[in-house]
Structure 1
Amino acid sequence: MRELKQIAGLAPDQLRNIEDHLDRRYIQPGKLPGALTLVARRGEIAYLKAQGLMDVERNKPVGRDTIFRIYSMTKPITSIAMMQLYEQGRFLLDDPVHKYIPAWKNQRVYKSGVYPHFLTTPVTSAMTIRDLFTHMSGLTYGFMNRTNVDAAYRELGLDGSRNLTLDVLVHQLAELPLEFSPGTAWNYSVSTDVLGYLVQLLADQPLDEYLREHIFEPLHMPDTGFHVRDDQLDRFAACYQYQPGDRFELQDDPATSPFRRNGRLLSGGGGLVSTIDDYFHFAQALCQGGMFQGRRIIGRKTLEFMRSNHLPDNQDLPSLAVGAFSETPYAGTGFGLGFSVKTDVAKSQTNGSLGEYGWGGLASTNFFIDPVEELVMIFLTQLIPSSSYPIRQELRAIVNGALV
């Protein structure tokens, strides 16, 4: 059988396995409403395919311009914004957070009790800004449903379910104990929301304005932001919740979504919506050392620093994590300043390269960048939680199989 012409060193016949796999395994059986997948190498898009529906109730197909909730794929963007300020000498990574948030000076660690009656002990070390980048801060998320501390987050609505600002979030976090002393363990958390607050503080500019001016406009990302405008509504996908029996039901209708409200919490940890092309511009800038189409958003050495493993003694996530947070076990994977970083390919049990980095979102979205192969993959869908199916590992196997 004649092999088709390669695109940027990728075999098209192997890339088509993405479409076949997603359609046969997930979309036709009704496990996923739809999906949009992009694979690029050396700056050239080799595969881009929309499948299924972006809105089942209205029978609207996924399109290239569909707007998705990217949730925690917001984190790398906020991390880049903060490191832009690092390049300006505005802070150092080992600065204690209380240097910028004085109310956090005398932090304490949970010992026992339930909110508001906690028994606590003093921290053994002050939280640093690097602890926020690496999720070793001792903060948590309310949706973890694991401890009495995250129960307090839920009771106080610190997930953004009520009218919450970054100022109020930081003020209320000051009154709650940490899960552990900073730097001693890894726990997925609101840490990146606190980084968003620090961006506002250090730049003296609201987070949404800062991101638009310093990242979205330079990279031509017109559809990325914290709320969906009226002129975008027709392209805004519905979001779905996994149900037992490999089914899903509507979780967030586009017309009534909280993402339609202006004035929502500017969540640097999970508040953005975006499109495949917008996010590709961001990911490709990272793949090219911080520059896309002649516009630089971060320095090459700064980016190399960010995608190094910053966990102590080069440990991986399972060695330090105190709670599960997605379907990916992350063995052989460390954490940098805003991304996961592959440190041991064999141990990860997933095809790839040393130094591959990226992250995913609550609604099963995911991206990764392989700097060795100059490869970018972005997968967008809208199914909560991300632990529903092992799509991320499966896509890595298919995409890496296309390298020739």
Structure 2
Amino acid sequence: MKSFKAYFPFLFLLVLLVTACNSTPKEQKANSGAVVDSLAAAENLIQKYIDEGELAGFSALVIKDGEEVFRMNKGYADRENEKPLEENTIYRIFSMSKPVTAVALMTLYDEGKFDLDDKVSDYIPNYGSSKVYSPNEDGFSLEPQENEMTIRHLLTHTSGISYGWNPGYVDSLYRVNNVSGWDGKLEDKMLSLADMPLNFQPGARWMYGLSIDVAGYLVEVLSGQPFDEYLQEHIFGPLKMDDSGFYVPEEKHDRLCDLYNQGEDKMLTPAQEGMAGAFKQPATLYSGGGGLVSTIDDYARFCKMMLNEGELDGARILQPETVKMIMSNQLPETATYDNGNAGFGLAGAVDFGTGEYSWAGAASTNFWINPTDQLIIITATQIMPNNFDYANEFKSIIDNTLTK
């Protein structure tokens, strides 16, 4: 198990590079000590939560200016059997699948297969007839789309498509018709979804939902390939993301991190067998919105490709201009994200100040790509319902240590 100490030479070099132009040797030495102290504080913080029983284990990887400067694997992948987290532990990344799906779709954009403001119905005709739920004094009516749903709407969660989790008429139809379940085939689910009313007129506001799953199906339509095969050929293979996919093969089951539920007292219990066993069998529905598993190192390669404007180790995945589009605010003027405090790019949040692009997964995995400070942070644990407090506390220390 490696700690920050193994990477002190990188950190010391980093501090010297940052401070050499405007600090004395005495100040440089003090700054390098502050970096080490801060990273030790981050490690100790996580260990405290593990000792208190709030975390079974927690992994983190920090990359600054293209160099790995911090790696941490604390605690257990299987707490009950005291099996430690390893560098190659596999995690359910759930909604961290969404940026991968957006990248896959945008490879087809680079090939000239579509424009972002094309209507979805140009490629999946059923979505042209989707109605819009409109409440009124008599209850509600179903209205035609005023400005038809576009691919940009899908990738920014402004399509009017939800997840079926919320109370209300539209989401009740999702549940009755099982459009958000992972059984069956992607095509069948996405065509059934087109029969459901939209929650609002496309572009009117931001709502989290199955939009990115529709984008995954659009990859199939545009490419003529099953979505899993397209990802392997165009993303995972070229980037050498060897442990990423829609399920964990049997020979790798022992590397899959256990999943835990966290109660109101923050204590953990092993997840029930249904959810805990998910991802151990080949998928039939390739959910671009939440169906992937990956490792810290695999996802780091994806992040490094994005930070390096679409290329990594000679493999070009996207054009630089396309990466900038993904990682910049793409919301319609009528929609806001996070009460207007942040923007939303293609399948990920965007910080207005730093341009940081980020998202998270339902089992408490997180990533951040900060182009201003050339910083990547990835964290992973396996807690449901999600609790991002641990990752955010960890990130706060890293930001205060390594950003300008």
TM-score tier, shorter chain, comes to 0.7 to 0.9
How many Å apart are 1:42 and its aligned residue?
A: 1.4
Q: TM-score, normalised by structure 1?
A: 0.88
Distance 1:8 1:305 in 2: 33
Query: How do 1:184-333 residues align onto structure 2 when only pairs under 5 Å count?
Result: 184-251=204-271, 253=273, 257-313=277-333, 316-319=336-339, 332-333=341-342
Tell me the equivalent position of 1:371. 371
Kindly indicate whether residue 56 of structure 2 is the aligned counterpart of residue 33 of structure 1. yes
Kindly indicate whether residue 172 of structure 2 is the aligned counterpart of residue 151 of structure 1. yes
Tell me the equivalent position of 1:175. 195
Distance 1:316 1:341 in 2: 12
Amino acid at match of 2:144: P
Q: Compared with structure 1, are the counterparts of its residues 132 and 389 closer, same or farther at alpha carbon in structure 2 (3 Å cutoff)?
A: closer
Amino acid at match of 2:65: R
Amino acid at match of 1:377: I
**Identical positions, percent:** 40
How many Å apart are 1:254 and its aligned residue?
A: 9.4
Amino acid at match of 1:333: A
SS of the residue corresponding to residue 228 of structure 2 reads helix
Amino acid at match of 2:351: K
Tell me the equivalent position of 1:23. 47
Larger fraction in helix = 2
Q: Compared with structure 1, are the counterparts of its residues 265 and 134 closer, same or farther at alpha carbon in structure 2 (3 Å cutoff)?
A: same
From 120, 128, 133, the counterpart of 1:105: 128
Tell me the equivalent position of 2:118. 95
Q: Compared with structure 1, are the counterparts of its residues 263 and 356 closer, same or farther at alpha carbon in structure 2 (3 Å cutoff)?
A: closer
Tell me the equivalent position of 2:164. 142
Q: Residues 98 and 212 of structure 2 are in contact (CA less than 8 Å); yes or no, is this contact kept in structure 1?
A: yes
Distance 1:402 1:57 in 2: 35
Distance 2:351 2:221 in 1: 32
Distance 1:375 1:262 in 2: 35
From 351, 360, 369, the counterpart of 1:342: 351
From 55, 69, 75, the counterpart of 1:46: 69
1:28-59, CA deviations, whole angstroms, 9 ceiling, x for partnerless residues? 21112111100011111100110111122332
RMSD of equivalent CA atoms: 2.1
Distance 1:336 1:233 in 2: 34
Q: Compared with structure 1, are the counterparts of its residues 146 and 23 closer, same or farther at alpha carbon in structure 2 (3 Å cutoff)?
A: farther
Amino acid at match of 2:356: E
Q: TM-score, normalised by structure 2?
A: 0.88
Tell me the equivalent position of 2:14. 9
Q: Compared with structure 1, are the counterparts of its residues 364 and 7 closer, same or farther at alpha carbon in structure 2 (3 Å cutoff)?
A: farther
- List runs of 5+ in structure 1 lacking aligned partners: 320-330, 345-353
Distance 1:174 1:93 in 2: 19
Q: Residues 94 and 293 of structure 2 are in contact (CA less than 8 Å); yes or no, is this contact kept in structure 1?
A: yes
Q: Compared with structure 1, are the counterparts of its residues 149 and 58 closer, same or farther at alpha carbon in structure 2 (3 Å cutoff)?
A: farther
From 72, 81, 101, the counterpart of 2:95: 72
Q: Residues 132 and 192 of structure 1 are in contact (CA less than 8 Å); yes or no, is this contact kept in structure 2?
A: yes
Distance 1:43 1:252 in 2: 40
Q: Compared with structure 1, are the counterparts of its residues 158 and 90 closer, same or farther at alpha carbon in structure 2 (3 Å cutoff)?
A: same
Moved over 4 A (4+): 252-256
How many Å apart are 1:268 and its aligned residue?
A: 0.4
How many Å apart are 1:13 and its aligned residue?
A: 2.8
How many Å apart are 1:398 and its aligned residue?
A: 0.7
Tell me the equivalent position of 1:396. 395
Distance 1:277 1:105 in 2: 41
Distance 1:252 1:85 in 2: 39
Distance 1:392 1:255 in 2: 22
Q: 267-276 or 52-61: which moved more? A: 52-61
